[in-house]
Amino acid sequence: MRAATLNRLAILNQPPPKPRRRRAFDWSTLAIAALSLSAAAYVYWRDGSGHFFTVLESDIWLFVTMLPKVLAGCLIGGFITLLLPRELVARWVGGESGMTGLLIAMAFGFMLPGGPFTAYPIAGAFLLVGADAGTVVAFLVSWSLIGYTRALVWELPFFGADFTLWRIIAALPLPIIAGILARIVVKAGFPVKAPTGEPRKDP
């Protein structure tokens, strides 16, 4: 395997980078805070204090019941990030094609915890070890739609178990569909050449 590829693969063995210092509040949180406060003020003005406090109480109760789930989800994410053999998976994904490659990519997308800073570099590494675009698409769609940490930590508390499970079952075939579609589009002539973004030079 080329040396450059091995260097890039080395990132897979490390825990995901935390490149940006995490700020306590970012602009999107501020935007949702402003929206929430306006909505709360509007409800108070429209429906009076009785209704306002009924809503507040049920929301605070929901928040409290969420906490053990969120903590568990975060701990699972923390441990899996350390325990998952990323390089091994990358080699599988790179070496397998056909339906097996799509299924492995989908399973890995399902298991991978973390945000965009984890997923996209790994998808880039998949391309480097020889995975085709369809496999990478299946991985990213799986991570976006059926990744369990996002579902447990975020979706479950807001939507409840029934809705979340129902949505995930509806989304199960989507990574495979997207992967097959991507292969068809590439075969039809979509230019995905030079996937590494670097000039190819073989030693």
Name which of 1 and 39 has its Cβ closer to another protein: 39
Q: Please report how close the Cβ of residue 50 comes to another protein at its closest, in angstroms.
A: 13
**Gap between the Cα atoms of 20 and 117, Å rounded:** 10
Nearer to another protein, 104 or 153 (CB): 153
| Nearest CB to another protein, comparing residues 1 and 192 | 192
Cα-Cα-Cα-Cα dihedral sign, residues 115, 20, 84, 76: negative
As measured in angstroms, the least distance from the Cβ of 61 to another protein is 10
Closest approach of another protein to the CB of residue 108, in Å: 16
Instruction: Supply the minimum distance, in Å, between the C-beta of residue 75 and another protein.
Output: 4
CB closer to another protein, 20 vs 201: 20
Picking from 147, 144, 157, 148, the residue whose alpha carbon sits closest to that of residue 69 is 157
Q: What span, in angstroms and rounded, lies between the C-alpha atoms of 21 and 159?
A: 30
Cα 46 to Cα 6, 51, 64, distances in angstroms: 62, 9, 27
**Side chain identity at residue 159, one-letter code:** F
